[in-house]
Chains A and B, each alone.
Chain A
């Protein structure tokens, strides 16, 4: 489980996170939802210790983050971090050099799944295919938790469907996923848990299926209630 406890973060005098708390379980897909600028990416950065927090605590599997954590958790940012002149094959080699948890068998499977050509240069890829390579590089690591920042933004609907298919496959099974998005539409049925953020705080944390069952509401219904007050 990833536990985010009362995390506060300021950039200068600007308060970005004002005491954010939520949990994300292993084997579940947790979705952080909020409009732009609400602090979604900052939360992911904080979980990965890419940015220092002013107060609060983050635990991964009950332990605070240290250098070994990075073999248990991976972060897929919203833009690919590989050098553009690299081919997909070279990028995979690069990952293999850096992470003991790199799983080439799974990487090869993902290449087929996304119909990517390993000899293609990353700079020559379409936006959708770049996003798929980015996802591949993260998902091919044998880690317990995967964080994804806006995996669907700016991508055509067919690529979006292909990416969404990953979530229903064994490539994600048993792992804990936290993803951020501002449009929930096509993934409503894929997510276990929703964390709604507004103005640096968690306004609501709920299980999607439970809300359908006990209140007869869709995720979007709940969002409407929370955001249009």
Chain B
């Protein structure tokens, strides 16, 4: 577990995002146990109160659940899990659109470029 936190966004939100990313790509499976708050704070080198806050927030969002005297687990609720992926995707595309809009490119040209770059990246990884 290694996260590079930036200093300007609330750390607890960055932790939640980290979990969402892991859930979206399937690295954290539904029902999988997650570290205790203290373990997480230690692994990510953050304040234990911040880890606590991140977990509380994730519990409220239904991303994780805790049964009495058991470690917290990733939710098995398909609806919530699906939402996580969409949310991340939405966010990333929004960011891309905002930054690309300032260059004023016709959308077709843009999509072609995206297609080329995207598959080029796939080739590199493969």
Contacts of B13 in A (CB 8 A): 213
CB of B86 within 8 Å of the partner chain: no
- Cβ contact within 8 Å between B47 and A192: yes
- Cβ contact within 8 Å between B47 and A190: yes
Given A170-B38, A173-B38, A189-B5, answer yes or no on A212-B45 (Cβ-Cβ < 8 Å): no
B6-57 residues at the A interface, CB under 8 angstroms: 6-13, 38, 41-42, 44-50, 53
- Cβ contact within 8 Å between A169 and B53: no
- Cβ contact within 8 Å between A188 and B42: no
Q: How far is the CB of A208 from chain B (nearest CB, A)?
A: 8
Contacts of A167 in B (CB 8 A): 47
Q: How far is the CB of A110 from chain B (nearest CB, A)?
A: 15
Assembly CA distance A191 to B48 (angstroms):
10
- Cβ contact within 8 Å between A168 and B12: no
Assembly CA distance A17 to B59 (angstroms):
45
Interface of A is mostly: loop
- Cβ contact within 8 Å between B11 and A27: no
Which A residue's beta carbon lies closest to that of B7?
A218
- Cβ contact within 8 Å between A168 and B10: no
Size band of the interface chain A makes with B: 20 to 34
Given A170-B38, A173-B38, answer yes or no on A221-B47 (Cβ-Cβ < 8 Å): no
Assembly CA distance A220 to B6 (angstroms):
12
Q: How far is the CB of B99 from chain A (nearest CB, A)?
A: 18
* Contact with A169, one of B6, B9, B10, B42 (Cβ below 8 angstroms): B42
Contacts of A219 in B (CB 8 A): 7
Contacts of B49 in A (CB 8 A): 27-28, 192
Which A residue's beta carbon lies closest to that of B43?
A168
A140-178 residues at the B interface, CB under 8 angstroms: 164-165, 167-170, 173
- Cβ contact within 8 Å between B8 and A217: yes
Q: How far is the CB of B38 from chain A (nearest CB, A)?
A: 6
- Cβ contact within 8 Å between A212 and B47: no
- Cβ contact within 8 Å between B45 and A221: no
Assembly CA distance A190 to B7 (angstroms):
11
Please encode chain B, from 44 to 84, with 1 for each CB lying within 8 Å of some chain A CB and 0 for all others: 11111110010000000000000000000000000000000
- Cβ contact within 8 Å between B42 and A165: yes
Assembly CA distance A164 to B45 (angstroms):
8
- Cβ contact within 8 Å between A209 and B42: no
Contacts of A169 in B (CB 8 A): 38, 42
* Contact with B47, one of A168, A213, A216, A220 (Cβ below 8 angstroms): A168
- Cβ contact within 8 Å between A218 and B5: no
Known: A173-B48, A189-B46. 19 other contacts (CB 8 A): A165-B42, A168-B45, A168-B47, A169-B38, A170-B38, A189-B7, A189-B11, A189-B47, A189-B50, A190-B46, A190-B47, A191-B47, A192-B49, A209-B12, A212-B9, A212-B10, A218-B7, A219-B7, A221-B8
Chain A interface (Cβ < 8 Å from any Cβ of B): 27-29, 164-165, 167-170, 173, 188-192, 209, 212-213, 216-221
The 3 closest A-B CB pairs, nearest first, are A218-B7, A213-B10, A212-B10
